[in-house]
Amino acid sequence: MIYALFYTFIGFMAMEFSGWFIHKYIMHGILWKIHKTHHAHTKGFFELNDLFSLLFASIAIVLIFLGIDRGDYRFWLGLGITIYGMSYFFLHDVLIHRRLKLFSKPKKGYLAGIFSAHQAHHYSKEKDGAVSFGLFIVPKKYFKNKGR
Ligand SMILES: [Zn+2]
Ligand SMILES: [Zn+2]
């Protein structure tokens, strides 16, 4: 059980850290053409940037299938990535960008902190000069002056 939790946690954390790296150096780098559809206001429900979600989802699906087949840790890694993807969807796409109008803007606590950190990321519509590339782990300063 500890084993399963450990690998699920590793899968989740690997997504936040590699996601930070990929976002900062690749999406705001060589793949900016795709990612900029998320920084510009585009019409319609889908953005070209959604391809990244599909890519990460397919990695998780492959790991889950391999893990079931061999009965090993890859299932749990894939599960961790899946949990990350679902949390990312609800926080980033639903709560922050309101692609589905389910929640209103959080006023205090952890959610308000990651909300303003991600808004700070979107202040820039350019490839260079953006800040705050992670989603769940963001600098402490975004949590200040909250909860008054
Ligand atoms: Zn970005
Ligand atoms: Zn965003």
* Structural domain boundaries enclosing 24: 2-104
> Is position 146 within any domain?
no
- Rounded to the nearest angstrom, the distance between the alpha carbon of 36 and the centre of ligand 2 is 10
pLDDT score at 145 = 63
> Is position 32 within any domain?
yes
* 3-class DSSP string for 32-59: HHHHHHHHCCCCCCCCCCHHHHHHHHHH
> Is position 13 within any domain?
yes
> Is position 10 within any domain?
yes
- Rounded to the nearest angstrom, the distance between the alpha carbon of 70 and the centre of ligand 2 is 37
Please determine, for residue 148, whether its predicted confidence score (pLDDT) is greater than 80.
Answer: no
Q: Which two tokens stand for residue 60?
A: 């998780």
> Is position 125 within any domain?
no
Distance (Å, whole) CA 148 – CA 141: 15
> Is position 99 within any domain?
yes
Q: What percent of the chain has pLDDT over 70?
A: 97
User: pLDDT tens digit string along 18-32?
Assistant: 999 999 999 999 999
Q: Which two tokens stand for residue 11?
A: 């899968």
> Is position 9 within any domain?
yes
- What's the mean pLDDT in 5-12? 98
- In the chain, the number of structural domains is 1
User: pLDDT tens digit string along 40-77?
Assistant: 977 889 999 999 999 999 999 999 999 999 999 999 99
Asked whether 23 and 133 are in contact (CB, 8 A), the reply is yes
Please determine, for residue 147, whether its predicted confidence score (pLDDT) is greater than 60.
Answer: no
- Rounded to the nearest angstrom, the distance between the alpha carbon of 103 and the centre of ligand 1 is 22
- Rounded to the nearest angstrom, the distance between the alpha carbon of 143 and the centre of ligand 2 is 18
CA 103 vs CA 48, 56, 76, 138: distances in Å: 24, 25, 30, 21
- Rounded to the nearest angstrom, the distance between the alpha carbon of 68 and the centre of ligand 1 is 34
> Is position 120 within any domain?
no
Asked whether 18 and 135 are in contact (CB, 8 A), the reply is no
Pick the more confident residue, 62 or 125. Answer: 62
Asked whether 20 and 134 are in contact (CB, 8 A), the reply is yes
User: pLDDT tens digit string along 97-124?
Assistant: 999 999 999 999 999 999 999 999 999 8
